[in-house]
């Protein structure tokens, strides 16, 4: 059994292909969205998901979120006394999803399709694959998120002939794909995106505006506790603006109260720069697909951030029509990953379906350009695989040295669209020894092979000797070698994960700790006693004792959360 996983910046989901349709699997709290948060509990065990998200405010130094942004880098993230790489934190999320699936399906889960933003670089993709391995999963395929969304959408339209665009704005990334659906063949015509643009940026933008408007001392930006509270308050306001005409961001620091009310129009003004940035990839994808906006039959929304009315309005304005939202934008990518799992398992229901994808960016090497007077200008980028080439693809190009008897040729491999190599992303380098020969007789054939997972292999063959070298991109500081993965797998397996059957109660307690910090005076004292009472009930380990206390405790938490809480008189 292969599972499909959407490993998101904010939330992650797991789904399976079952009885001819994709199905989401709930976690131990019965929810299909598991927050992509990890926290190190005081007893040294690991909390994943909602319990960890509750602790972002109460224990910011022991809790991590949005680490997907650092995938492919060597940044270390500290949780209490331990440090983790981004792929290790992602592995803990994957492990938790895997356990949820195993509990529901009743058998071990060892293989997965994991989705990645189409715009993820080679290093980010390799880090995602490593995260899978660290979680004990064989990663069958890395699937581009907008491609997954189109699979989920297209599977219901198998017999239609249609052309659509997927607009996927998640927590941290933005992807656009243009697709053609014809007789069961789903063809990605072009992809484009922005790796550094997502729903979280709208929160940051609001926060910066809040600091400015309220003249909040800038020093508070380095107060982790204050910032976590502010991020949570701003996130709430941003989401409230999706359902109501205005929302307020409110926070106190010592005895100063800061508050700012925003309506839709103000929100749109504050985030105008971000909204403008959403236009570029749409235009690029359409240009690469050789299509005009009017030639599209539909626009599909994916990613939680497309719930923002300002984004929907922008899409409607750009396309002159309202986008399709028949599939929940939070779920569409995971459902598509499960469809891909069905394809991989060759399910009969998917007999006629074929999916083709493209490379979302150009890949090439750094070259020197010959000028008219036999002098050279160095540092230019020469693409070998152009962006939006259908994958898998293998291309060869021949390169010559710049002088007679040159002893080495250094290949620097880049990804991107900029004219100068230095403005693109460097993937790695390879030094190839050359036999002593005149320029025209000397040279190498460089072969780029780019597979369906978006992973690149570079091979250089010396023309004269046919000697072949393979570029090992894994030498990058941001990447783990197979040996390192094996070693870290062991360390990670030794980490104690909070027991599944107790996570529900642990989540309630984490939530209570957060709400406790919101209260003051008598209310705080009263609520503190309720937390102790709940802890005492838990200690009995007797369901008959726990259940009623728990129900009441949960009702109190809801009251505090929704500001309808008053301290009872006779307690
Ligand atoms: P994803 O990575 O697809 O889980 O997207 C998560 C992003 O969607 C986060 O930035 C959330 O703040 C955002 N989001 C989720 N629900 C809403 C909502 N109702 N209104 C505005 N943004 C939302």
> How confident is the model over 43-80, as pLDDT tens digits?
999 999 999 999 998 999 999 999 999 999 999 999 99
Secondary structure class of 378 (helix, strand, coil): strand
Any atom of ligand 1 within 6 Å of the Cβ of 336: no
Q: Whose CA is nearest to atom 22 of ligand 1?
A: 305
Any atom of ligand 1 within 6 Å of the Cβ of 35: no
The DSSP code for 307 is: G
- For residue 244, the CA-to-ligand 1 centroid distance in Å is 16
Any atom of ligand 1 within 6 Å of the Cβ of 117: no
Q: Which class would CATH give 363-480?
A: mainly beta
Do residues 429 and 421 touch, judged by C-beta distance below 8 A? no
- For residue 235, the CA-to-ligand 1 centroid distance in Å is 9
Q: How far is CA 303 from CA 8, 109, 117, 240, in A?
A: 9, 26, 11, 17
- For residue 355, the CA-to-ligand 1 centroid distance in Å is 28
Q: Whose CA is nearest to atom 16 of ligand 1?
A: 304
Q: 186-236 pLDDT, tens per residue?
A: 999 999 998 889 999 999 999 999 999 999 999 999 998 899 889 999 999
Q: Name the pLDDT band for 327 (thresholds 50, 70, 90).
A: confident
Task: Indicate which atom in ligand 1 lies nearest the CA of residue 333.
Answer: 3
What pLDDT, on the 0 to 100 scale, is given for residue 476?
63
The 8 Å CB, 24+ separation contacts for 22-25 are: 22/152, 22/155, 22/334, 22/335, 22/336, 22/338, 22/339, 22/342, 23/338, 24/331, 24/334, 24/335, 25/100, 25/101, 25/104, 25/105
- For residue 514, the CA-to-ligand 1 centroid distance in Å is 21
Query: How many C-beta neighbours within 10 Å does residue 382 have?
Result: 16
What pLDDT, on the 0 to 100 scale, is given for residue 475?
52
For residue 74, indicate whether it is catalytic: no
- For residue 554, the CA-to-ligand 1 centroid distance in Å is 25
Any atom of ligand 1 within 6 Å of the Cβ of 307: yes
Q: How far is CA 34 from CA 38, 51, 94, 201, in A?
A: 11, 10, 10, 21
Q: Within a 13 Å sphere around the CA of 175, how many CA atoms are in the beta-carbon half?
A: 32
What pLDDT, on the 0 to 100 scale, is given for residue 569?
57
What pLDDT, on the 0 to 100 scale, is given for residue 121?
86
User: What does pTM read for this prediction?
Assistant: 0.91
- Indicate whether 330 pLDDT > 90: yes
Any atom of ligand 1 within 6 Å of the Cβ of 304: yes
Q: Quote the mean pLDDT of the chain.
A: 92
- Indicate whether 477 pLDDT > 70: no
Q: 92-148 pLDDT, tens per residue?
A: 999 999 999 999 999 999 999 999 998 888 889 999 999 999 999 999 999 999 999
With a CB cutoff of 8 Å and minimum separation 6, the contacts of 108 are 102
CA 187 to chain centre: 23
CATH architecture of 2-197+274-358: 2-Layer Sandwich (3.30)
Q: Name the pLDDT band for 276 (thresholds 50, 70, 90).
A: very high
Q: Name the pLDDT band for 438 (thresholds 50, 70, 90).
A: very high
Task: Indicate which atom in ligand 1 lies nearest the CA of residue 11.
Answer: 4
Do residues 27 and 498 touch, judged by C-beta distance below 8 A? no
Most ligand 1 atoms within 8 A of CB, residue of 71, 243, 305 to mutate = 305
Most ligand 1 atoms within 8 A of CB, residue of 50, 149, 304 to mutate = 304
Percent of the residues in the chain that have a pLDDT greater than 90, as a whole number: 77
What pLDDT, on the 0 to 100 scale, is given for residue 474?
53
What pLDDT, on the 0 to 100 scale, is given for residue 255?
85
Q: 456-471 pLDDT, tens per residue?
A: 999 999 999 999 988 7
Q: So where are the chain's domains?
A: 2-197+274-358, 363-480, 519-561
For residue 145, indicate whether it is catalytic: yes
Most ligand 1 atoms within 8 A of CB, residue of 10, 194, 334 to mutate = 10
Percent of the residues in the chain that have a pLDDT greater than 70, as a whole number: 98
What pLDDT, on the 0 to 100 scale, is given for residue 472?
64
Between 478 and 91, residue with greater pLDDT: 91
For residue 180, indicate whether it is catalytic: no
- Indicate whether 356 pLDDT > 80: yes
Task: Indicate which atom in ligand 1 lies nearest the CA of residue 241.
Answer: 20
- Indicate whether 263 pLDDT > 90: yes
């Amino acid at each position: 059994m292969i599972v499909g996983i959407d490993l998101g910046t904010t939330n992650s989901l797991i789904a399976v292909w079952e009885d001819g349709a994709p199905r989401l699997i709930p976690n131990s709290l019965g929810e299909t969205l598991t927050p992509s948060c990890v926290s190190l509990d005081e007893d040294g065990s690991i909390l994943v998901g909602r319990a960890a998200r509750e602790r972002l405010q109460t224990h910011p130094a022991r809790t991590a979120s949005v680490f997907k942004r650092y995938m492919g880098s060597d940044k270390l993230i500290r949780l209490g006394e331990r440090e983790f790489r981004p792929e290790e934190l992602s592995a803990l999320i994957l492990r938790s999803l895997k356990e949820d699936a195993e509990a529901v399906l009743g058998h071990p889960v060892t293989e997965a399709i994991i989705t990645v933003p189409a715009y993820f670089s080679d290093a980010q993709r390799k880090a995602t694959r490593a995260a899978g391995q660290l979680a004990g999963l064989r990663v069958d395929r890395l699937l581009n998120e907008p491609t997954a969304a189109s699979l989920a959408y297209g599977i219901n339209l198998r017999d239609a002939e249609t052309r659509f665009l997927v607009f996927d704005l998640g927590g941290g990334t933005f992807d656009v794909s243009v697709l053609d659906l014809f007789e069961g063949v789903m063809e990605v015509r072009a992809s484009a995106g922005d790796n550094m643009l997502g729903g979280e940026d709208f929160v940051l933008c609001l926060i910066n505006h809040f600091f400015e408007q309220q003249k909040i001392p800038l020093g508070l930006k380095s107060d982790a506790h204050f910032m976590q509270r502010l991020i949570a308050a701003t996130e709430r306001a941003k989401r409230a603006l999706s359902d109501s005409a205005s929302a307020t961001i409110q926070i106190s620091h010592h005895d100063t109260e800061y508050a700012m009310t925003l309506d839709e129009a103000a929100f749109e003004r504050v985030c105008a720069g971000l909204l403008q940035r959403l236009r570029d990839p749409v235009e690029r994808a359409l240009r690469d697909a050789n299509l005009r906006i009017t030639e599209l039959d539909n626009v599909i929304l994916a990613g939680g951030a497309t719930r923002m009315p300002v984004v929907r309005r922008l899409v409607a304005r750009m396309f002159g029509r309202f986008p399709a939202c028949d599939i929940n934008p939070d779920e569409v990518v995971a459902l598509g990953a499960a469809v891909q799992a069905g394809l991989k398992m060759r399910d009969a229901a998917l007999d006629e379906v074929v999916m083709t994808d493209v490379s979302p960016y150009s890949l090439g090497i750094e070259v020197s350009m010959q000028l008219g007077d036999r002098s050279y200008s160095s540092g230019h980028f020469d693409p070998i695989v152009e962006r939006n080439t259908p994958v898998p693809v293998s291309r060869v190009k021949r390169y010559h040295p710049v002088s007679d008897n040159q002893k080495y040729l250094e290949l620097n491999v880049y990804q991107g669209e900029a004219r100068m190599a230095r403005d693109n992303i460097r993937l790695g380098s390879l030094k190839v020894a050359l036999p002593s020969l005149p320029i025209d007789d000397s040279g190498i054939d460089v072969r780029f092979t780019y597979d369906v997972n978006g992973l690149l292999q570079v091979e250089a063959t010396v023309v004269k000797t046919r000697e072949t070298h393979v570029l090992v991109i894994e030498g990058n500081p941001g990447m783990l070698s197979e040996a390192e993965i094996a070693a870290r797998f062991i360390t990670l397996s030794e980490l104690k994960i909070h027991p599944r059957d107790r996570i529900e109660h642990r989540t309630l307690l984490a939530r209570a700790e957060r709400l406790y910090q919101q209260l003051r005076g008598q209310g705080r004292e009263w609520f503190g006693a309720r937390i102790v009472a709940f802890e005492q009930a838990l200690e009995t380990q007797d369901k008959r004792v726990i259940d009623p206390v728990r129900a009441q405790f949960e009702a109190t938490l809801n009251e505090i959360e929704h500001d309808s809480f008053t301290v009872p008189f006779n307690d």
